[in-house]
Amino acid sequence: MIISSEQFEENRAVAEEIREKGGAAVCVDLDLLDPESVDSYFLRVHEEIPFCRVLVNNAGIGLHKSLEESTDAEFRRVFEVNFFSLTKLCRQAMSYMKNREGGHIINISSASARRSLASMSCYGATKGAVHCFSQALRLEVAPLGIAVTEILPISVKTEFFDRAGYQPKGMVQTPETIAKLIERAIRTREAELCSSQLTRLGFLLDVVAPNFASKLLEWQQRWRKD
């Protein structure tokens, strides 16, 4: 297993814990806001392991502001981490996987990809982009034996919200819940996985009665402000 993020010391601690429990893990540093770090990532991975069979794109940052409150720079920063870096890593993974009996790309998106909420215009837009990108990429790489899974979780209890400057309301899930979905995705190679039954019902309502769903959310937003 290769562990990568900008949290270098934390990554090394996790890798050490995995090794202590009998697993194999190494760290390859990755800063998604550094183009050179992203562009050279798979070259550095290849120095550690001969072949990447599964890529899990799990990194992301949030922005809890209305469009009026946010800036162009903030939008670009969130898009760089949540979308553009993801597409670069997927492109690199394809070049390694297509000639090596296939592979599997798992993109951690969000329920916001299908229906975004107030003060999440930027974050929702990045995850909506990941959703459409994953759908198209799935078709492009299927003839190569590469699967693409999109996981659409609700809020997860991590440091994500502390960094984004707000705390979620409503149901919050654990990282272990998402880890189990990743394990399932690797086994089944399903196209999409949701972390909540309520999310599935919400997606269904959005398809069957999108105008009603929109009016319901508008009413909820007005009620909160009142």
Quote the DSSP letter at residue 84.
I
Closest by CA position to 213, among listed 224, 199, 226: 199
Q: How far is residue 122's CA from residue 16's CA, in Å, rounded to a whole number?
A: 36
Provide the residue type at 43 as one letter: L
Whole-number pLDDT of residue 147: 97
Taking only the tens of pLDDT, the chain with its 226 residues reads 999 988 888 999 999 999 999 999 999 999 999 999 999 999 999 899 888 899 999 989 989 899 999 999 999 999 999 999 999 999 999 988 987 878 999 999 998 898 888 888 999 999 999 999 999 999 999 999 999 999 999 877 767 666 666 666 767 788 899 999 999 999 999 999 998 888 888 888 888 888 887 888 787 777 776 5
**Where does the chain have alpha helices with state H?**
8-20, 35-39, 41-46, 72-79, 85-97, 121-141, 160-164, 175-188, 197-208, 210-225
Domains annotated on the chain, with CATH: 31-195 (3.40.50.720), 201-226 (no CATH)
Look-up: residue for tokens 């190569």?
144
User: For residues 181, 182, 184 and 186, what is the CA-based torsion angle, rounded to 10 degrees?
Assistant: 160
> Of 41, 96, 123, 166, which residue is the catalytic one?
123
Asked about 166 being catalytic, the answer comes back as: no
Whole-number pLDDT of residue 33: 94
Strand-pair partners of 39: none
Q: How far is residue 11's CA from residue 146's CA, in Å, rounded to a whole number?
A: 27
Q: How far is residue 155's CA from residue 152's CA, in Å, rounded to a whole number?
A: 10
Whole-number pLDDT of residue 214: 81
pTM here is 0.88
